[in-house]
A and B are shown apart, each in its own frame.
Chain A
Amino acid sequence: MVDLLQLVFAGLSQGAVYALVAIGFVAIFTVSGVINLAQGEFAALGGLVAISAVGSGLPLLAAVVVAVATVAVVAVLMERLTIAPVKRMTTLVSLILTLGVSTGLKALMLLVYGPDAEGLTPINPGGFTVGGVSIRYQELWILAVAAVVSAAVYWFYERTLAGKALRACAEQPVAARLVGISLGRASLTAFLIAGCVGAIAGVMASPIYFTSWESGLTLGLKGFVAATLGGLVSVRGAVLGGLLLGVLENLTAGYVSTGLRDAVAFLLLIVVLVARPSGVFGRSAEARV
């Protein structure tokens, strides 16, 4: 029983990181139909920038702000330089473009930060034990920050005019343009959100899971699977998908074999793709009247 609780708790905190990455996928996909393969790199870059900022003497909070701002700028530049100039975006073109950006970012991170994985200083080091379940403070921070960020993103889409405008672009791009919403600006906003959320995911994950130039690959993949579980169009679905994936991974690692941990994401992906492929690339029933 203690084992189960321990695994579930560790899974939730890891899943919260996936959830944040997944929100980035959803933010971009709903507005522009682009599957951003550089989403994981946003997280890795966020972690690395924060680590080096702390290394150069900045306080932790300031380092986090610098990291999020840097990734936001990178995301915005990426949108302006690679996505916006394309007149007719197709899924294939978007995959090729974002894969290119992802590879470029990885190379750049390797050049600047070197090949070694490092961990950011945790906000409070250490942890405590409750009923046999050992809990690190950082895991609680991850859960808290993920909860606040998801709630904020959800609030943004549901309650603010800018958020509703983004949903309008996702559902009826023609009508959105006719009421005066610029699709280009919407796409830019979506990348900005994805950059910020991705950087936060990377910064929060770094103290426990470590960050290197290539950690974006795993994070991006897991985030994508989590987003896919929610049909790629729902923030709530992405969060639930992330948590589910994290818990399943940890249960598999604990009860079956640690070697199978990474297989869980692929298995889930296959199941989802077979069971409801339209939820992945189609705009599903939501966009139809």
Chain B
Amino acid sequence: MSLEVRGLAAGYGRLEVLHGVDLTAGDGRLVAVIGANGAGKTTLLRALSGLIPASGGTVTLAGADVTGSGPERLARAGLAHVPENRLVFPSLTVEDNLVLGAYTRRRGPAAERREARDRALALFPRLQPRLQQVAGTMSGGEQQMLAIARGLMAQPTVLVLDEPSVGLAPRLVGEIFTALGKLRDDGLTLVAVEQNARAAFAVADHVYVMDRGAVVLEGDAATLASDPRVTAAFLGGGLSGDTPDGPPTPGTAEAGQR
């Protein structure tokens, strides 16, 4: 398996947000992690790519234990993280954003980088005419495409995406998920965190449902799509049933750290 997460725990300071998450992705499949706002999805990705330290559990990438590695090392090991809110480099051109995406490959052959760039531009043809444009002046959808293209420039084995659809028009959401489907068909392993469950179910092979910092449901996308428990999880607290009236506490944690 390309990516194996076992019992991953993480949080901010003394506050634990993620309580022992197991997740497996690989074999060129698209895994979606869905859940309500504050379920711990972003924290999961941040812990995965080393932006926050794991307080427990292990992360294995392509067979190597990478638990506790910083994002720079993970990028070199083949994990590309398309962050929440895209975070393109705003005053740099689209071209330069792509060039920096291949930063971990800077000592590799130029032909490889050119090929990665051609593939990324073929996937998102809208970027082609904007190569010399400053990235910060593009629309949200185009910035999302650029963020994904930048991630692909590192020629990763696993691409993780944090809410690729957030704030985008439905047509663009479709366009982006179609592109993710194409990447999957090309054999790339993808993990997409999504709040937009419908969009996620439309392309994902396997779905994890998170609630309050833990995986509460997982299964084949086709099977889970009609599962009423998924809807319940989105309404908050429907699954574990221990605090039916209480608000989901991790939500406040995630909102607070913005």
Whose C-beta in chain B lies nearest to the C-beta of A233? B91
Question: Which residues of the partner chain B approach A168 to less than 8 Å between Cβ atoms?
Answer: 89, 92, 100
Which chain B positions have C-beta within 8 A of A274?
none
**Which residues of chain A from 122 to 169 have a CB within 8 Å of any chain B CB?**
161, 164-165, 167-168
Q: What residues of B have a CB within 8 angstroms of the CB of A93 in the complex?
A: none
Nearest A residue to B85 via CB reads: A289
Q: How far is the CA of A165 from the CA of B90 in the complex (A)?
A: 13
Q: B16 CB to closest chain A CB, in angstroms? A: 20
B56-104 at interface with A (beta carbon < 8 Å): 70-72, 75-76, 80-81, 83, 85-92, 96, 99-101, 103-104
- A178-B75, A179-B154 known; A165 vs B51 contact (CB < 8 Å): no
Q: Mark A250-289, 1 if CB is under 8 A from B, else 0.
A: 0000000000000000000000000000000000001111
B100 in complex: contacting residue of A179, A286, A287, CB < 8 Å: A179
Instruction: Write the nearest CB–CB distance from B169 to chain A, whole angstroms.
Output: 18
State the interface size on chain A (CB cutoff 8 A): 20
Q: Which of A171, A178, A182, A289: most chain B CB closer than 10 A?
A: A178
Task: Report the separation of the CA atoms of residues A182 and B103 in the bound assembly, to the nearest whole angstrom.
Answer: 11
Annotate B140-167 by CB proximity to A: 1 below 8 A, 0 otherwise: 0001000000100010000000000000
Question: A90 near B: Cβ within 8 Å?
Answer: no
Known: A179-B75, A286-B91. A161 touches B106 (CB 8 A): yes
Q: Is the interface of A mostly helix, strand, loop or mixed?
A: helix
- Interface-centre pick from A161, A287, A288 (highest chain B CB count, 10 A): A161
Say if the beta carbon of B53 comes within 8 Å of chain A.
no
A180: CB under 8 A from chain B? yes
Sorted nearest first, the 7 A-B pairs with minimum C-beta distance are: A180-B75, A175-B87, A180-B104, A177-B71, A178-B81, A168-B89, A180-B103
Inter-chain contact A179/B104, CB cutoff 8 Å: yes
Q: Is the CB of A174 within 8 A of B51?
A: yes
A167 and B91 contact, CB distance less than 8 A: yes
- B87: chain A residues within 8 A (beta carbon): 172, 174-175, 178, 289
- Can you show 27 pairs from A to B with CB atoms below 8 A apart? A165-B103, A167-B89, A168-B89, A168-B92, A171-B90, A172-B88, A172-B89, A172-B90, A174-B51, A175-B88, A175-B89, A176-B89, A177-B70, A178-B49, A178-B51, A178-B75, A178-B87, A179-B75, A179-B103, A179-B154, A180-B71, A180-B76, A180-B104, A289-B85, A289-B86, A289-B87, A289-B136
